[in-house]
Chains A and B, each alone.
Chain A
Amino acid sequence: MKKFLLILSVSSVLMNTACNSDDNDPIAVVATCTDGIQNGDETGVDCGGTCTPCTTAIDNPTSYIFERNGESTVSFSGQTTRISMGQEIIDAMQETSSTAVKLQAMFAHVEGVEDFTDADLNASDKSVRSKTAASADYFSGNATDQALIRADFESWIDGQVNEVFPNWGVAAEAGVAGQIADGSSTRYINAKGLEYNQAFNKGLIGALMADQALNNYLSPAILDEGDNRANNDAGTPAEGKAYTTMEHKWDEAYGYVYGANADAADPNADLGADSFMNKYVGRVEGDDDFAGIADEIFQAFKLGRAAIVAQDYTVRDEQAQIIKKKISEVIGIRAVYYLQQGKNALDQETPDYGGGFHDLSEGYGFIYSLQFTRKPNSEDPYFTKAEVDAFLVDLMDDGENGLWDVTPATLDAIAEAIAARFEFTLAEAAD
């Protein structure tokens, strides 16, 4: 476990720093930035306000608990809501009574419409679709890809309803959609062996959870937007709230990873609380090769949040980079894992088609999610959309029947190409 050294040095080196008394007003407060007492518009002794920003020790709590005046400043109800909506959508994709219209309406929920079984979700003004491929860093200037990605999710819904539902009571075979046994489970696949609900579910882990957390809320473009930094420096809460806007943005990233956990302060106690990012942080944690990753992610979120409270944006951004790297790795590891598991299932004397297709359908979604990863200290994902699209074409085009025809060589090639760009090895991820 990595230990983060707290920066304890309450910097007292403000001595000779000239005050920024360059305002136009000649009757400005007298410069007092060196007198050893808090006065004028200083927010601390000789710092803040018109003096140089205060540097305070980071008070890193043991759990994700942050308060102002005795009131919690941690809030991410919007993320919890979208996770719940996502869960209802993927559940409804397995109900043959669901129409395409209904599923699309759930995806693009409008406030007050009775799309969900949970009345609170119906009353919400949040929607999954509006935050799918919607990060500031990747999509504010790329409406084209955003539209194409949303169309992919919509096509998976339509495919499920129009291709798979009609064959729900049919045994699947190459070129024929229907049901197939996977151990004691029954899976429902399209004519090419793909489970659309898995593509949707695992695709959303990238397009919603990772994209929003890594490329939106952990981005300086969002954290430091407008006067967020000045307000955070001054400890000025958002209107009517206990938190500063910067604190809240950070927590919204946190909420996409931990929004469904029973105890928000200690989310690693019940990893797997949703079917999305949280679940797969838990799965990767369960692989001995990556044990500790769940705590690394959590510690980075916590220290980064504490750094915001301490107005230490250097430490904040360092933690954001750790989170970007580790969350991206979770996606990469699971993509490789499912490709290898799928290969193992198919490449044997008696191919386990149902099990293999299930793995590869999950893998399909994780490969899709790679385009939403974020290389640390970079503006780029680990794989571009074009690279991801090429992988998915490769996966499905070894023969006319998609996964029914896919070869071990193809699965290895994709898995190797993915692992090569991360710091983990194929062997580490494969089990």
Chain B
Amino acid sequence: MRKVFCLLIFSVVIAACSSDNGSGNPVDDVDPGPGPESFDRAPLLVNWADNIIIPSYDAFTSELTAFETAFDTFKATSNADNLVALRAAWLSSYKMWQRASMFEIGPAETVGLRLNVNTYPTDTDKVDAHVSSGTYDLALPSNRDAKGFPALDYLINGLGDTDAEIVSKYNAGDKEALLGYMGALLGDLSTLANQVTSEWKSSYRDTFVSNDGASATASVDRFVNDYIFYYEKFLRAGKMGIPLGVFSGGVLPEKVEAYYGSDVSNALFLESLDAVQDFFNGKKFGSSTVGESLASYLVALNTVKDGEDLNERINQQFNTARDLVTALAPFKEEIETNTPATAMLLAYDEVQRIVPLLKVDMVSAMSISIDFVDADGD
């Protein structure tokens, strides 16, 4: 089903008057207000590109290099210690991916990075078939559910109940085939990540930053759409709502992220939530300093909701959601042991509450139209 969400923008309404909270001050009614606010979008784009997006991709490619090193060690000596180290490298890269996943614009959009890196649940039958046949083309769209972090999750965490069992698989007859496929998956990840990173640096950074107008095709408008789309579909729905059964008849615990190493699903979610909030606040990657951001944009527009600054309201909601999610047992356990999974559903509701704040209130203030579409489903 393809539905276009077209929000008609109530553009100037909120920007001008913040007078509802004037506790009966009659002067408010005649105050013409500060007039239409202006906000220079160019420094915003520069902060996004130079201080957040490109450094995030750089960190991601570095993580993948470390992951490959851990893999080489495991490949040389497939023992339990090296498996633990490999798993740690997998998790560290996977967490870093949570900070890069939202940037599906330009080079990442062209290669379809997100679905090449993190399509889950992975198709284990397909993975097994590729391992045993040794013939596969990881560039094919139909192989997206047999590669990336979820397929690596299966190969690192899912081949046995204990580490000893898993290690034994890597010392048995199909050792070479398993290691060969794992190596190919890592190579595919690195190739894609390096391609996207280098395109950002070589050309797209300038394209992105220079497109600093305010229109449906301007960088801010487009990226804000991508950002909200990511939050709604991949973070809120993909990581929590779908496994919780919010969109289906029953719960689907097999759809949690990192199903085989499922004690880390929550950590991946929280990393992703942190990344989204940090981006909202313009926090420079690897630093506690902030630059121009969606939050500072709202401040410049003097946007108020229910008597409260909207940027603060949004940050509070991020914090509320994080608190509830942090208190949860691993998602898979929450879903499988509680019927209904009340604690996780309550947390999900707080995660959901951010959607209208971004998708209605924030974009209205910024005069940005929401234009994204759902997949057709047929």
Contacts and interface: CB of A to CB of B under 8 A. Distances in A.
A354 B378 contact: no
Interface in B40-95: none
Interface in A174-221: 179-186
B141 A180 contact: yes
A341 B375 CA distance: 12
Contact of A184 (B2, B6, B119): B119
Interface in A250-304: 275, 283, 286
Contacts of B1: 283, 286
Contacts of B106: 349-350
Contacts of A169: 137, 140, 142
A266 B360 CA distance: 37
Contacts of A349: 106, 217, 222
Interface string A150-189: 0000000000000000000111000000011111111000
B252 interface: no
B109 interface: yes
A179 B217 contact: no
Given A181-B112, A181-B115, A275-B378, A348 B141 contact: no
- A171, A275, A341, A349 — most chain B CB neighbours (10 Å): A349
A358 interface: yes
B142 A184 contact: no
Interface residues of B, number: 24
A181 B138 CA distance: 13
- A171, A344, A350, A354 — most chain B CB neighbours (10 Å): A350
Contacts of A358: 376
A186 B109 contact: no
A179 B140 contact: yes
B144 interface: yes
A181 B144 contact: yes
Contact of B375 (A180, A184, A344, A350): A184
Nearest to A198: B378
Contact of B142 (A183, A186, A275, A341): A186
A171 B217 contact: no
Contact of A350 (B109, B144, B373): B109
A171 B142 CA distance: 10
Interface string B221-241: 010000000000000000000
A431 interface: yes
A2 B142 CA distance: 47
Nearest to A358: B376
Interface string B1-26: 11110100000000000000000000
Contacts of B288: none
Contacts of B115: 181, 183-184
A431 B6 contact: yes
A181 B110 CA distance: 11
Contacts of B105: 350
B172 interface: no
- B4, B105, B115, B119 — most chain A CB neighbours (10 Å): B4
A348 B141 CA distance: 21
B124 to A, nearest CB: 18
Nearest to A348: B217
B140 A341 contact: no
Interface in A391-431: 431
Contacts of B27: none
Contacts of A171: 137, 139-141
Contacts of B142: 169, 179, 186
B373 A341 contact: yes
Contacts of A275: 378
Contacts of A362: 376
A348 B110 CA distance: 11
Contacts of A179: 140-142
Contacts of A181: 112, 115, 141, 144
A390 B2 CA distance: 28
A156 B137 CA distance: 27
Interface in A338-377: 341, 344, 348-350, 354-355, 358-359, 362
B141 A431 contact: no
B375 A185 contact: yes
B352 to A, nearest CB: 21
Contacts of B139: 171
Contact of A354 (B2, B109, B141): B141
Contact of A431 (B4, B110, B140, B144): B4
B334 to A, nearest CB: 25
B141 A186 contact: yes
A184 B375 CA distance: 8
Interface string B118-129: 010000000000
Q: Which 4 A-B pairs have the closest CB atoms?
A: A181-B141, A183-B375, A186-B141, A350-B109
Interface of B: 1-4, 6, 105-106, 109-110, 112, 115, 119, 137, 139-142, 144, 217, 222, 373, 375-376, 378
11 contacts: A170-B140, A171-B137, A171-B140, A179-B142, A182-B376, A183-B115, A184-B115, A184-B119, A348-B217, A350-B109, A431-B4
